[in-house]
Every structure is written in C-alpha cells, then in structure tokens.
Amino acid sequence: MTTQEKSGASLLQDERYKTIDRTIKRLNQREDALLEVLNTAQEVFGYLPQPVLRYVAQQLHVPLSRVYGVATFYHMFTFEPLGEHTCIVCAGTACHVKGSDRIIRTLSEAFNVQPGGTTADGSFSLTVTRCLGSCGLAPVVVIDGQVHGKATPEGVYAQVAQILTVAETLKQGAR
Ligand code: FES
C-alpha cells in the first residue's frame, strides 16, 4: 500500500475506491452487502489491504471487527498481494473426495510454493479454498480466473507450467 493510498484526500480520486463506492450504492444496504463489497474490493485491489477493510467498514457503517470476521471466514479473501498468476484449488468435501489434495501437493512441490502462498519471485500463487459451488465438476480449480472441472494433477501442472513458461519468455523478450 502506497502512502498515496493511505491519504484520505487521494482515496476519493482512486478509481478503485470509487468502484467500491458504486457497489455499495448498488446494493443499497442489502443484508449480504458486506460480502459483495469485499468481493469487489478484492477484485479491484487483488487482495484486501488493511486501509481498504477500514474504508469498507466506514462506508457500510459496520464495525471493523465484523468486516474482519467475514473477510477471514471466507478462504477466497486474501490479505497479501497475490502473484502474477494464480491457481485456486477447491478443497471442499466433493473435491477432496475426488483428489484435490493430490493437485495441491503436485503444484506445491513442482513450483516450490506453500498452499496459500506465493512463489519467491512473485510469479505464482497457490490458493486453497472451500467449496466453489460447482461440486458436480469436482475436483475444481480456477487458473487465472478460468474455471476447470474434473481436473487432474497432471493436467493442472501442465497448464500452470505452460502459463509460467510463456510469461517468463515474454519477460525475457521485453528485456
Ligand atoms: S467441493 Fe469443490 S466445488 Fe464444491
């Protein structure tokens, strides 16, 4: 978080905060507004930095503790910046039964990253989440925002490896 993001005056000029405001306005005090607003905040910031959580609490007129309560309950929220590429693996019951733990282990070992962590070079984050609501497709993974059902450790590994190789090649080409 930059100093600029912390300054109250500049918050108002930051497009990302404006997006949060628009979501709040659209939801118009609905019961589930907090969850939706946190979703929006994570989408635009990529994670939930502390000043953003404070801002959401203030704008929704709810205690900061409640915002933290919701943000920490759902595994889809993260408090650290994610890597350039991400793979979310569902570890809900249906996906677990169909072997999602093998996918997690394969990615973790192959890319040297802890579940819930990001590689040292910041290129890849491995996130483990609760049920994504597509149990019929178990095991489910989301690679860079794209949902893949009936995933296999080999298939997910190959796809992530390809994405990271292409990204690295592009970076080298730009140097
Ligand atoms: S348990 Fe994985 S989508 Fe429901």
Q: What is the pLDDT of residues 139-157, one digit of tens each?
A: 999 998 889 999 999 999 9
Average pLDDT, stretch 129-145?
90
- pLDDT tens, residue by residue, 65-110: 999 999 988 877 888 888 999 999 999 999 999 999 999 999 999 9
Question: Strand runs (DSSP E) across 19-140, as ranges?
Answer: 85-90, 124-129
Chain mean position to CA 54: 19
pLDDT band for position 9 (50/70/90)? very low
Average pLDDT, stretch 39-48?
88
Domain 85-174's class?
A: alpha beta
Q: Greatest CA span in the chain, whole angstroms?
A: 50
Cβ atoms of residues 77 and 118 within 8 Å = no
Question: What are the tokens at 9?
Answer: 């005056």
| Mean pLDDT (the chain, rounded) | 88
CA pair distance 8, 58, nearest whole angstrom: 12
Pocket-forming residues, ligand 1, beta carbon under 6 Å: 90, 92-95, 131-135, 138, 140
Q: Where in the chain is the domain with CATH 3.40.30.10?
A: 85-174
The C-alpha angle with vertex 72 and arms to 67 and 75, in degrees rounded to 5, equals: 130
Q: Which ligand 1 atom minimizes the distance to the CA of 100? A: 2
Who wins on pLDDT, 60 or 75? Answer: 60
What does the pLDDT read at residue 13? Answer: 64
Ligand 1 center to 137 CA (angstroms): 8
Radius of gyration, alpha carbons of the chain = 18
